[in-house]
Structure 1
Amino acid sequence: MRTADPTGAAPVPTETVATGTVPTGTVAPRPTRPAGRTVLRIGPWVALPVRRASLVAGTATLLLLVVAAAATLSMGRLGIQLADLPSALAGEATGKNAFVLNRLRGPRLVVAIATGAAFGLSGALFQSVTRNPLGSPDVIGLGAGAGAGAAAAALFLPGVLPVPVGALLGAVLAMAVVFFATGTGFRNPGRLVVAGIGVAAMATALTQYVVYAVERDKATALTSYINGSLSARSWDDATTIWTVLLLSLPLAALLARPLSVGEMGDDLSSGLGARPGRTATGAVALSIVLSAGAVSVAGPIAFVSLTAPQIAKRVTRGGGPHLVMSTLMGALLLVLADLTAQQLPLFDNLPVGLYTMALGGTYLGYLLLREWRRPA
């Protein structure tokens, strides 16, 4: 195509491209990435845009998790020497090292990583749907329901129904009650929280009754479980929680984009073609599955699902649900809490849930101080 110049100059050959009309021989500018983003390529077909701050924070969190895992296996009187740790992990452990790795600390560590990751991802999904930074599956009664189920199994069906199975059934029953009590399923975050608070109150009352009703030695073991414990975990527990986590990760990846759009509001997300109601139901259901799986192997460990997404959001300094970062942060927080529970000399064999409660309380106090200091 040739265009005439009104001044009489020689015509300049041009061609039409997607970006407009440019002279022939010139290269159309490539679309630029948003500032601060990096593209991760997996093979020739997959390209994932990632914020650099998120990539740096995720890498640092993963490195800290590796360090915490090595400390868990090596610290203390029964720990594996750091020099022997690589060979032990390669399958060459013998004697005491084999016992520590295969029976004492190895399963406990693997369960802690997956359980913390499941709680962190569960909290990120729930907070994104409810748009509530203080929201978590605990708020809607899942943890309390699990505790009540464990307590009921210990009192009414001792030796017949295992306590972890009772906890899982209690969590599922509590969520079923919440689902029907709202009248809209999991679609209305406000009704969800109100119904969950009521279910949690009733479940806590049942748990406290059982603790007082059972014998003292059984009550001690039950109290340890309903506060969240990682002691005496087995490879079967590790298989259970890792199966739940690995099956949930692809579903969470499918929800990531609708959740990001949904944070702009239901009206705008509907205008962009998203389905807020369906996204909310799917995210809450997946959050419940993750939390129930974690509770079934470790008990209702509190505050990990609340604090992990908030810390993830602050270290990445960006918008969005932060699913990957929340997963890594949840794993790191629980491994650190369990390491403290094992190695702190002041207390012996306290449930790890007590340490996460202390962490959560400290974090909430920090948030409260920030609000006080913020100018009106």
Structure 2
Amino acid sequence: MLSRRGLWVNLVLLALLAAAATAALGLGNVSLSPAEVWAALRGEAPPLHRLVVHELRLQRVLAGMATGAAFALAGCLMQTLAGNRLATPGIIGIDNAATAFAVASVVGLVTSLAPSAMSLVGAVTATVLVFGLAGGSGTRGYRFIIVGLGVGAIAGAVTQLMLSRVAIDQANVAFPWTVGSLNARSPEATALLGAGLLLGLVLALRLARALQVLQLSEPVGIGLGLNLKRVRGQCLALSVGLTGLAVAVAGPVGLVSLLGPEIARMLCRHRGVPLLASALAGALLMLLADLAGRLVLAPLEIPVGIVTAVVGSPYLLWMLLNPSFRSRP
């Protein structure tokens, strides 16, 4: 059944996302009005305006929307799979492992594969390690989260070790991957993420009904004819793939995967799985965080990963201290 409130929430989030994108394209050292931004997008503006919009800001805005949506959608899937609001790809170490492998590619260690490919390898590696070390608990319970925290800490330490052992120029190139940044993102990586996000969103929406059943107890799901093993495998694969592609573009901006689904649930207020609302909320959050990072201390730029950490960390601590938020999503 279609939730009427959920439909309105998605429409409102889409409108807010369009407004945020327009603001991100128009605000900066060269400020443009919304009308001038849209004229530049249509190719009907002066050359300077077209240069600012198309060459300097559009790619960044597209990368922000795609990465935010991918992180939040991956977080919603992982939370539903684990039955725990704290179980996001960033918290269980997938982000850090994907970053470590991407940094290894950037600094030329071990392999020369592209960062996008290496980040996917890192995400898969972290997932295998977490599942293996969690033992029989699978994705259920806090053992899964604690093991993920350990794997993420090790991956973070490996990243810092690699950066400390390479030349300063290589370390400077790789540094944005460690904090999360949308500055000068590769159009090819963004296009790959966009294609992966579109495919992932379609597949996730096809799993929406099964994901709602997954929120119930295992006997109920089996009694309803749900193949739990297959659904969990598909859900996990989508979450890992989206996280790896997003890290390949923006680096570890993991708290978006926590905040996006939380915003969607708060707005939708129903017991379903707000997949599309989570993606839209994540995209909006990433754009606003990047815009704040560009403008608050201009001309000094704050990486988007630092902005989301400042905003999201207090909320994460509140969730940890509030027993009512440690329940199933």
**So what's the TM-score if we normalise by structure 2?**
0.89
Looking at structure 1, the residues matched to 222 and 110 of structure 2 have their Cα atoms a distance apart, in angstroms, of 51
CA-to-aligned-CA distance 1:236-273 (integer Å, 9 cap, x gap): 23311110011112210121101101111111111111
Indicate how the Cα distance of structure 1 residues 234 and 98 shifts in structure 2: closer, same or farther if over 3 A, else same.
farther
Indicate the residue corresponding to 1:98 in structure 2.
50
Looking at structure 1, the residues matched to 60 and 256 of structure 2 have their Cα atoms a distance apart, in angstroms, of 17
Alignment partner of 2:207: what SS? helix
Looking at structure 2, the residues matched to 369 and 79 of structure 1 have their Cα atoms a distance apart, in angstroms, of 43
Indicate the residue corresponding to 1:73 in structure 2.
25
**So what's the TM-score if we normalise by structure 1?**
0.78
Indicate how the Cα distance of structure 1 residues 196 and 342 shifts in structure 2: closer, same or farther if over 3 A, else same.
same
Structure with greater strand percent:
1
Indicate the residue corresponding to 2:105 in structure 1.
153
Moved more, 354-363 or 232-241: 232-241
Q: Match of 1:320, as an amino acid?
A: G
Structure with greater helix percent:
2
CA RMSD of aligned residues (A): 2.5
User: Displacement, 1:347?
Assistant: 7.1
Looking at structure 1, the residues matched to 302 and 284 of structure 2 have their Cα atoms a distance apart, in angstroms, of 19
Looking at structure 1, the residues matched to 297 and 149 of structure 2 have their Cα atoms a distance apart, in angstroms, of 37
Alignment partner of 1:76: what SS? coil
CA-to-aligned-CA distance 1:141-191 (integer Å, 9 cap, x gap): 21111221133234443994454544343333323433554567x954346
Moved more, 194-203 or 98-107: 194-203
Contact 1:154–1:163 (Cα < 8 Å) also in 2: yes
Alignment partner of 2:181: what SS? coil
Instruction: Give yes or no for the alignment of 1:108 onto 2:60.
Output: yes
Written as runs of structure 1 = structure 2, the 5 A alignment for 1:329-368 is 329-345=281-297, 348-367=300-319
Indicate the residue corresponding to 1:7 in structure 2.
none
Q: Match of 1:327, as an amino acid?
A: A
Written as runs of structure 1 = structure 2, the 5 A alignment for 1:275-314 is 275-314=227-266
Looking at structure 2, the residues matched to 126 and 337 of structure 1 have their Cα atoms a distance apart, in angstroms, of 23
Indicate how the Cα distance of structure 1 residues 347 and 88 shifts in structure 2: closer, same or farther if over 3 A, else same.
closer
Contact 2:131–2:139 (Cα < 8 Å) also in 1: no
Contact 2:116–2:245 (Cα < 8 Å) also in 1: no
Q: 2:130 aligns with which of 161, 178, 189?
A: 178
Looking at structure 2, the residues matched to 192 and 152 of structure 1 have their Cα atoms a distance apart, in angstroms, of 26
Alignment partner of 1:92: what SS? coil
Contact 1:187–1:277 (Cα < 8 Å) also in 2: no
Looking at structure 2, the residues matched to 166 and 91 of structure 1 have their Cα atoms a distance apart, in angstroms, of 37
Moved more, 104-113 or 82-91: 82-91
Looking at structure 1, the residues matched to 80 and 122 of structure 2 have their Cα atoms a distance apart, in angstroms, of 25
Indicate how the Cα distance of structure 1 residues 158 and 216 shifts in structure 2: closer, same or farther if over 3 A, else same.
farther
CA-to-aligned-CA distance 1:53-103 (integer Å, 9 cap, x gap): 222222221121111111101112223332222222223344222222222
User: Displacement, 1:348?
Assistant: 1.5
Looking at structure 2, the residues matched to 330 and 228 of structure 1 have their Cα atoms a distance apart, in angstroms, of 15
Contact 1:150–1:226 (Cα < 8 Å) also in 2: no
Alignment partner of 1:112: what SS? helix
Q: Match of 2:23, as an amino acid?
A: A
Contact 2:94–2:240 (Cα < 8 Å) also in 1: yes
User: Displacement, 1:107?
Assistant: 0.6
Looking at structure 1, the residues matched to 321 and 203 of structure 2 have their Cα atoms a distance apart, in angstroms, of 37
User: Displacement, 1:193?
Assistant: 3.3
Alignment partner of 1:79: what SS? coil
Looking at structure 2, the residues matched to 180 and 272 of structure 1 have their Cα atoms a distance apart, in angstroms, of 29
Instruction: Give yes or no for the alignment of 1:189 onto 2:140.
Output: yes
Indicate the residue corresponding to 1:323 in structure 2.
275
Looking at structure 2, the residues matched to 371 and 145 of structure 1 have their Cα atoms a distance apart, in angstroms, of 29
Moved more, 150-159 or 303-312: 150-159
Q: How many residues align?
A: 323
Instruction: Give yes or no for the alignment of 1:88 onto 2:40.
Output: yes
Moved more, 202-211 or 118-127: 202-211
User: Displacement, 1:316?
Assistant: 1.3
Alignment partner of 2:20: what SS? helix
Indicate the residue corresponding to 1:120 in structure 2.
72
User: Displacement, 1:212?
Assistant: 2.3
Contact 1:256–1:321 (Cα < 8 Å) also in 2: yes
